[in-house]
Amino acid sequence: MWLKSSLVSLASLVVTPLLLPLGSVSASPAVQPPSPVASTMEAITVENFTVGDRVEVQRNNQWRSGEILSVQFLEQKTIYSVRYLDIGFTENNVRGDRLRKKTTSRPQARRIFQVGLPVIVAEGETYREGVITGYQLGGYGGDRYEISYNDDSHTTNVKRHQLLTLAEAQALGFETDNYDLSTPEAIAEMLDIHNEWRAKVGVAPLTWSDELVEHSKIWAEHLLAERDMYHRPVSQNPHGENLAKATKRHMTPSFVVNLWGSEVKDYDYESNQCMGLMCGHYTQMVWHETTQLGCAMAREDDFEIWVCSYDPPGNYAGERPYPMVETTALETASE
């Protein structure tokens, strides 16, 4: 049975009773020839190994823990494909004289990648970043994982040896996505994606506000403690507010903002109403009088919450998020 991840949820704040109905819904390198064994290395007897055996591999005059992934018999020689357990790197064409049984009798714990974990997936010479959304352990072919990639594509039947954690990938020199707002790069991503949506309707870009960051952080930590998502009371919040939460998966700044922005399909400019479930996240992001943005997120175990605050706030009843004249100018420019 596949273990599935939970869906993403979100909510947006209305400053006064609105025409825009808002709320929260559920959404979500070439292998180098082996170096000669140093004279200080002990002599070993070539043994036969099978798929799944835990072994020690001689590489660069060191013995390193590994796992046999495949066995081939070529020209009366046996060669192996071995995955190094410390970094996840796979080496092919390993001769038997470079392998030995593990010297420790202590059993190795089965490595399981949990639902919601961001990972790097090796697909031949290509490496893709995504999040584990399900898995099936054991059975024919071994453990298999279901992956939702960061480009919104999806795949199943990914083998365990194809996966690297982000820490393992970064140790190997891979660049990975941002999954929080702890770095200048992540903050820039959050701000830039907001401004991309605003540019589509011709309104001025936002600037980042540290004061709004602190305001958002207080509420994000409050919601994390309660494992819930709801807006700060209007009487206690002079700013606009967008919320998003996820369980058993990690979101990126781009994912969060584009989740809100996807509501554009449900907003009808002529009637200034939401034609679908909600569109208030989108209208707040592109509100032409808003000039500043500050966001925060909080995560613990399998739950995370994202909060963005906007000043001045938007989503006033009876007002459109941006003037009609700007829409007309954009349409003329695109013709």
Tokens 């994390």 identify what position?
A: 224
Instruction: State CA 180 to chain mean position distance.
Output: 9
Q: Three-state SS string across 36-77, please? A: CCCCCCCCCCCCCCCCCCEEEEEECCEEEEEEEEEEEEECCE
Rounded to 10°, the helix 184-199/253-261 angle is: 20
What per-residue confidence (pLDDT) applies to 20? Answer: 33
Mean pLDDT score, 264-292: 95
Mean pLDDT score, 299-319: 95
Residues 6+ apart with CB under 8 A from 261: 193, 197, 281, 282, 285
Encode pLDDT of 174-230 as tens digits. 888 899 999 999 999 999 999 999 999 999 999 999 999 999 999 999 999 999 999
What per-residue confidence (pLDDT) applies to 101? Answer: 85
Mean pLDDT score, 92-113: 76
Mean pLDDT score, 25-46: 37
What per-residue confidence (pLDDT) applies to 8? Answer: 57
Q: What share of the chain has pLDDT > 70, as a percent?
A: 79
Between 257 and 113, whose confidence is greater? 257
Lowest-confidence pick of 107-116, 212-221, 253-262? 107-116
Mean pLDDT score, 237-266: 94
What per-residue confidence (pLDDT) applies to 41? Answer: 34
Tokens 């960061």 identify what position?
A: 150
At 213, give phi and psi (nearest 5°).
Answer: -60, -50
Is residue 222 within a helix (H) or strand (E), and if so which, with residue range? helix 210-226
Given a contact cutoff of 8 angstroms between Cβ atoms, the answer to whether 67 and 54 are in contact is yes
Between 109 and 74, whose confidence is greater? 74
Q: What share of the chain has pLDDT > 90, as a percent?
A: 44
Lowest-confidence pick of 21-25, 33-37, 128-132, 315-319? 21-25
Other beta carbons within 10 angstroms of residue 240's beta carbon come to 26
pLDDT band at 105 (very low <50, low <70, confident <90, very high): very low
Given a contact cutoff of 8 angstroms between Cβ atoms, the answer to whether 170 and 254 are in contact is no
Between 290 and 38, whose confidence is greater? 290
Burial of 14 (0-12, 13-18, 19+ CB in 10 A): buried
- Alpha helices by DSSP H, listed for 65-109, are none
Mean pLDDT score, 29-52: 49
Mean pLDDT score, 47-69: 86
Residue 42, pLDDT > 60, answer no
Q: What is the mean pLDDT of the chain?
A: 81
Encode pLDDT of 116-156 as tens digits. 889 999 888 788 988 898 888 876 667 889 998 887 788 88
What per-residue confidence (pLDDT) applies to 109? Answer: 63
pTM: 0.62
What per-residue confidence (pLDDT) applies to 43? Answer: 37
Q: Going edge to edge, which strands form the sheet with 144-149?
A: 154-159, 144-149, 126-136, 118-123, 163-165
Mean pLDDT score, 251-264: 95
Between 312 and 75, whose confidence is greater? 312
What per-residue confidence (pLDDT) applies to 274? Answer: 94
Residue 70, pLDDT > 90, answer no
